[in-house]
Each structure stands twice: as structure tokens, then as C-alpha cells.
Structure 1
Amino acid sequence: MIVTTGNDVEGQRIVEYLGLVRGIVVRSTSIARGFIGGIRAIGGGNIPEYAAVCEEARQHAYDLMLEHARQVGADALIGVRYDATEFMPGSTEVLAYGTAVKLQPDAG
């Protein structure tokens, strides 16, 4: 499936808009990652344990969004974006969303 942050797909014509699709997850750090990350936070700089939690959450939200797109019969997703919000202390909601479309090759 084609996934893009743009509003069109090179060489393809959008023939139908199927609507918004999304994937949403709420993640928190494990006790071990939270403890180690907390210790590293004292020194400042990048905190790999927290970055790993964020990346896992983004990937999971992305995968759920793709599954939703397959369910509606999409050929591609356009205008794809991520949004993240702290749900409660230590827990973050990650939302991946985009517009599902049907495509046809350009005639020209």
C-alpha cells in the first residue's frame, strides 16, 4: 500500500475518497524502562529507553492505521500524520491518521 504525507500520488489519479482511517494506541513505560529512563533524565540529553517506547507506539499506531485502510479497501493513504498527547502522567496516546483513497494509473 502506498502511504504518503502528500495529497496525491505521482502517476496515479485519485478516483474515490474512502474517508479517514486511523490507528490509536496508549502506551506507558515499563517499570524497568521508566526507572532507567528516570536515572538518565537527571543527566539530560537523549533518553534511549523513552525513545524506544515512543517508536514502538508510533509503529503500532501506524500498523493499526494500515489495517483500517485495508478494511475499507484502500489502495493508498494520503495526508498521513501522527499526533501524540500525554494521556495521564507516564502514558501517551499516539494517533496515526490519513485519508484512504482508491487509485487508477494516469492515462497521460
Structure 2
Amino acid sequence: MIVTTGNEIAGYQIIEYRGVIRGIVVRSTGIARGLVGGIRSIGGGNIPEYADVCEEARRHAYELMLQHAREAGADAIIGMRYDATEFMQGATEVLAYGTAVKIQPVHF
């Protein structure tokens, strides 16, 4: 499946819009990562434990978005974006979303 942050796909024509699709996950750091990450945050700089949680959440939200696009019968997703909101202290919602479309190659 083609996924792009743009609104067009080079070499393809959008023939049908299937609607906005999304993948949502809510993640917390967990006790072990939260403790280690909290200690590292005292010194400043990058905190790999927190970065790992963010990457996992984005990857999971992306996969759910792809699943929803397939269920909608889409060939591609345009206008893809991520959003994140602190759901409660220690838990963050990560949203991957875009517009599911049907496409066909453009023949010159």
C-alpha cells in the first residue's frame, strides 16, 4: 500500500475517496522504562527509553491505520499525519490518520 503525506501520488490518478481512516493507540512508559527514563531525564539529553515507547506507539498506530485502509478497500493513503496527546499523566494517545483512496496508474 502506498502511503504519503502529500495529496497526490506521482504516476497515479485518484479515482475514489474511501474516507478518513485512522489508527489509535494509548501507551504508557511502564514501570521499568519510566524509572530508568526518569533517572536519565535528570541529566538531560535524549532518553532512549522514552524514544522507544514513542517509536513503538507510532509503529502500532501506523499498522492499525493500514489495517483500516485495507478494510475500506483502499489502495493508498494520502495526507498521512501523526498526532499525539497526553491522555493522562504517564499515558499518551498516538493517532496516525489520512485519507484512504483508490488509485490507478496514469498511462501516457
Q: TM-score, normalised by structure 2?
A: 0.99
Query: Number of residues paired by the alignment?
Result: 108
Aligned partner of 1:35 in structure 2 is 35
Partners of 1:27 and 1:107 lie apart in 2 by: 45
Aligned partner of 1:58 in structure 2 is 58
Aligned partner of 2:90 in structure 1 is 90
The secondary structure found in structure 2 opposite 1:45 is coil
Aligned partner of 1:23 in structure 2 is 23
The secondary structure found in structure 2 opposite 1:5 is coil
Structure 1 gaps of 5+ residues are none
The secondary structure found in structure 1 opposite 2:7 is coil
Aligned partner of 1:100 in structure 2 is 100
Quote the RMSD (CA, aligned, Å): 0.5
Percent sequence identity is: 75
State the Cα distance separating 1:107 from its structure 2 match: 2.4
Aligned partner of 2:47 in structure 1 is 47
Partners of 1:11 and 1:74 lie apart in 2 by: 17
Structure 1 residue runs of 4 or more that deviate by more than 4 Å after TM superposition: none
